Amino acid sequence: MMGDHHDEFVDITATFELKVNAVRAHASQWVEYPDLEGFLRRRAERLGQNDGIPLGEGFKRLVPT
């Protein structure tokens, strides 16, 4: 989720609230983000903007050799 080497992006607009709830379930890993939903939303907006996606999730595509 937090890597910087994405080359594939998926629209997560429809499932964003599920993502927020799932991440909140791991509260001990996110104590430094009091506005967790805002943090995740801003990141998703930034990741989606280049592809015209409202809320994006980035992945690194692995190609079998």
pTM above threshold 0.75: yes
Question: Is the pLDDT at 2 greater than 70, yes or no?
Answer: no
At residue 58's C-alpha, the angle toward residues 42 and 63, to 5°, is: 175
Q: What is the mean pLDDT of the chain?
A: 90
* Token pair belonging to 20: 């927020």
Q: If you average pLDDT over residues 3-8, what whole number do you get? A: 80
Amino acid at the residue 28: S
Question: Is the pLDDT at 65 greater than 60, yes or no?
Answer: yes
* Token pair belonging to 22: 């799932």
